[in-house]
Amino acid sequence: MTTSPLSALTLIAPAKLNLFLHINGRRHDGYHELETLFTFLDYGDELSFELTANKTISLLGDTKGIADEDNLIFKAATLLQQHRQVNKGAKISLVKRLPMGGGVGGGSSDAASTLLGLNKLWQCGLTIEQLAALGLQLGADVPVFIRGTSAIAHGIGEQLQPVQLEKKWYCVVHPNQHVSTAKIFTHPDLKRDTPKLSKLWQHEVLSNDCEPLVKKLCPEVEKTLQWLLKYAPSKMTGTGSCCFVEFDTQVQAQDVLADLPPNWQGFVAANTNISPAHSRLSAMFDDPN
């Protein structure tokens, strides 16, 4: 285990899948009450952090042309630096693998791994709960990545009930379409009245309440879901546009990926109940806090 101060650290910012997503209502502040089941995938963006002596935070790599002030990685680093009054900075390098606007949590996961990594690099000493509270300022999905366990989420996504899921293999397909989360959640046609689940949720009909609207607004998503039905029951994750199918073996998932139409992108990964970012930190330290 690492006990001396670090000067550099690399973490994976993993993809997540929403195995179901129910919207129970809309709050007065515009946020939605929801229930969803998150699982992480052993695949994601790669973030490398290097300690610097001055307070400058620099972001390098595949940022897709997003200005620093609009990038959740830079926002997360700046938020933590100001919150703990850190007198050091960081050079952050990004290898981007997760599609933007795909519903796999790329931006939120990047922000969470930034908070987790810099909390160690800057020796801030914040607990997971403190980091999750900080991360909530950046987005409702950030706390689930910071806490790092498969979970059923309630509220606006910040109330988490950890669960243990059996290992499965997923083929995730992105039809090269960007779906705006804000556009979906503000659309008048979004279904917002799904009853809350009972404690026996495994036996209830589970779906993604965003899927009908996304299919209407983005026909390529519907086309993707229909294509995947040749192999297994298909689902959309989050607010789209990534779609996925689940298998017991890696070979089955790879067979789907091999048949992928050339205008789409995809990847195969297994789910994991512990975030790869947490697994990495736990291997280096006594715990990821």
**What is the value of pTM for the model shown?**
0.92
Residue 10 contacts by C-beta under 8 Å, 6 or more apart in sequence?
46, 47, 48, 49, 280
Question: What tokens does 273 get?
Answer: 């109940």
Which pLDDT score, from 0 to 100, does residue 126 have?
A: 97
Number of domains in the chain: 1
78: pLDDT strictly greater than 90: yes
DSSP letters spanning 56-79: -EEEEE--TT--GGG-HHHHHHHH
* pLDDT for position 84: 97
Beta strand residue intervals within 221-287, DSSP E: 235-236, 243-247, 265-272
Better-scored residue on pLDDT, 125 or 5: 125
The confidence score (pLDDT) of residue 234 equals 97
- Whether 141 sits among the annotated catalytic residues: the reply is yes
pLDDT at 4: 52
Catalytic member of 141, 209, 215, 235: 141
Q: What is the pLDDT of residues 124-135, one digit of tens each?
A: 999 999 999 999
pLDDT band at 168 (very low <50, low <70, confident <90, very high): very high
Structural domain for 239, as ranges: 1-289
> Can you state the angle between helices 128-135 and 106-121, rounded to 10 degrees?
140
pLDDT confidence band for 50 (50 / 70 / 90): very high
Q: How many other CB atoms are there within 10 angstroms of residue 257's CB atom? A: 14
- What CATH number is given to the structural domain containing 181? 3.30.230.10
- What rounded mean pLDDT belongs to the chain? 92
Checking if the pLDDT of 243 tops 80, the result is yes
The DSSP string of 158-195 is TEEEE------EEEEEE-S----HHHHHH-TTS---PP
pLDDT of 157 reads: 78
In the prediction, which pLDDT does 155 show?
86
65 has a pLDDT exceeding 90: no
Look at residue 287 and tell me whether its pLDDT is greater than 80.
Answer: no
pLDDT at 203 exceeding the cut of 80: no
